[in-house]
Chains A and B, each alone.
Chain A
Amino acid sequence: MIDPADLNLLTELVMTPGVSGFEAPIRARIRRELPAGTVARADAAGNLLTVWGPATGGPCMLLVAHMDELGLVTTQVEATGWVRFRKMGTIDDRTLLGRRVRVWCDDGPRDGCILAQPASPVAERVVAPSRLMMIDVGAGSAAASGVRRLQPVTFVKEIAVLNGRRLVGRGIDDRFGCLLLLQLARQFATTPPAFPVTLAWSTQEEIGFGGARLLANTGRWDAVIAVDVFAAADGFGASGPLARVRLGAGPVARLVDHGAIASPRLARWVFERAAAAGVALQVAPTGGETDGKVLQTAATHMVALSIPIRYLHSQAEMVDLADLAQLAQLLAELTRVTPPFP
């Protein structure tokens, strides 16, 4: 099971703001959690990179998790003091109504909420598109709001552990991946890998893989492992080919999604290592895309590894802590044994 200190750290990572394109706070937080003496570099896209193991020799591997989270940006402050916004990433408009938010103004955060109509016992309401929604920051005028255009907005988050084993909250995607990479960094600080391994916390994944694009264009790796979520379909609304992936049944090899098909040789090796480490690995196709898609085209073998997550991109993303621990174990195994290629 996950170490209580790491569960605390995961909660703190989830609570740290990092809307796509505005990742400075979460980048600083991750940097602070790196083992003392770690050399970490941020590139022009804001990706945070650390390099471990020998400088040359053997295949080199990249493990990537995205640090950015879903959020909003302000686009216009109305004379009424209400604030218009646009979504950063794929967010269901229905999850926005009445939601508590925080606008990150130049002089600090301001709390607010997204407008919602009063409930009615008779009228069935149609959810208006988000471009017509507004944020109320409690101000009666544009000047009093203190809000400017293009400031990031985070959701006010709650996180809880259900039944001692399931973590629920917004933004677990992909902060759990960020935690797993931090755990690897800690491991590498005492026991460096036998081959060159880069750990990268990427940016702008939710709005089109901006960070991964720069990694793909500027780095060369023989194998890339994207650590990201996998929409489980054993919850509400589950059906079709996704139904096989269940919470608590182990991590998932994301072999086919809308963006990419995992590289067969790397996937085979991952399955071998999983078997050796005694990790049960689920396999399924899914929708969506990961950073792995753009990195795969940069002449690297790629596989995306995940844990199942329910209610993805909602305020109640849910993962099983046992799956998380199992994926940590698998990643440790994958960096312990030198991959047999190129």
Chain B
Amino acid sequence: MLSPADLELLMTLMSTGGISGFEDAVRGLIRSHAAPLGMLSEDWMGNLRLHIPGEGPRVLLTAHMDTVGILVTRIQDDGLLMVRPVGAVDPSLLPGRRVRIPGDWGTVSGTILSPGMREDGRPWEILRVDTGARSAAEALAAGLRPLSPAFLDGPAARLAGTRISGPAVDDRLSCLALLRFAREVAEGRTSPSFDLWCIWTVQNEVGLRGAEAVAATLPTDYVFPIAVSAAHSGIQAATDLGPLVPGEGPFLRVVDAGGVASPDLVAWAERAAAAAQVPLHRGTSNGESESKPFQARGAHGLPINLPVRYMHSGIEEADLRDHEALMTILRQLRAHPPWRP
């Protein structure tokens, strides 16, 4: 299981605001942990690229730093803030939630309010953020500006057993997985039998923008996007996605809206999981993964996901046993790599 230090890091990662396009704080946090592990660079989009050179094919692991969230679009005369979604946010989950808005002179807290949900499917027109400002002048004086991100607040917490909950399990749990894997490779006595790049990407939730930029500039042999995906929530009926339950193991995202994973890697991962005796499933998703832009350029790609409950709600739930199983499977990249039959 996670060391106390890594558990603390995970909690910090989950509590750090960083909606798409506003990843500064989380990038700084990851940079400080990744810098000692290899050659670290930041590209023009803001992706963090950690290179641990090795002899062999180029292998990328990706995880995205950004989360879905909301953005201040306008300050009303009465001081209330109008907002719009960034990424797929379910507006019905927002009223009553606390937000943190980085202002010119520090963080301003606010509450999302809604004078009754509209039935016409346009709830964003009535959602407002109340920061206590009673006029536009007061809001401006408090340092609030249009186009500030509003981070959904909420405590990161350990739940019963091995479950965790927090505002950004998607995809900070995977950010940690990359840090752990890079650390293990960097601390290995021999150089890896592959050219490892760990990429923490930006702007995933608004259309894989960060991953597109990496794929366009870094020729890649194998890519393993590490992410989370909607799990059976316990209150939702089973659908065509199949019920995947946190704690029962990670899953290979064989099919999603962006395409189909490389069959050779699916076979490899299933062999690897069986050899290491960890649970591993096959699943699907209605979204697109960061595999798509790389596969479109000739890479073999396999997205590996952890099942997460209450996706994109700001309070997501995952199981650390799945995270450990994922780490075990990633270690098989070194022990039994897919390019060595």
| Chain A interface residues (CB < 8 Å from chain B) | 20-22, 24, 43-45, 73, 75-76, 78, 84-86, 88, 130-132, 148-150, 204, 207-208, 210, 213-214, 216-218
Contact = CB atoms under 8 A, between A and B. Distances in A.
Contacts of B296: 45, 210, 213-214, 216-217
B240, B241, B252 pick with most chain A CB within 10 angstroms: B240
B297 A204 contact: no
B258 interface: yes
B173 interface: no
A55 to B, nearest CB: 21
Contacts of A132: 239
Contacts of B255: 21, 73, 86, 88, 150
**Chief secondary structure at chain A's binding surface:** mixed
A213 B296 CA distance: 5
Nearest to A19: B260
B36 interface: no
B284 A21 contact: no
A207 B238 contact: no
Contacts, number: 82
A44 B295 contact: yes
Most buried by B among A44, A216, A217: A44
B242 A130 contact: no
21 contacts: A21-B255, A22-B260, A22-B263, A24-B263, A44-B262, A44-B300, A75-B240, A75-B283, A76-B241, A76-B242, A78-B238, A84-B242, A85-B240, A86-B255, A132-B239, A150-B255, A207-B259, A208-B258, A210-B258, A210-B292, A218-B298
A44 B242 contact: no
Nearest to B256: A207
Interface residues of B, number: 26
B23 to A, nearest CB: 27
A131 B239 contact: yes
B58 interface: no
B31 interface: no
Contacts of B242: 75-76, 84, 149
Contacts of B297: 214, 217-218
B145 interface: no
Report which residue of A75, A88, A131, A204 has the largest number of chain B beta carbons within 10 angstroms of its beta carbon: A75
Given A73-B255, A84-B238, A131-B240, A204 B298 contact: no
Nearest to B257: A208
Contacts of A84: 238-240, 242
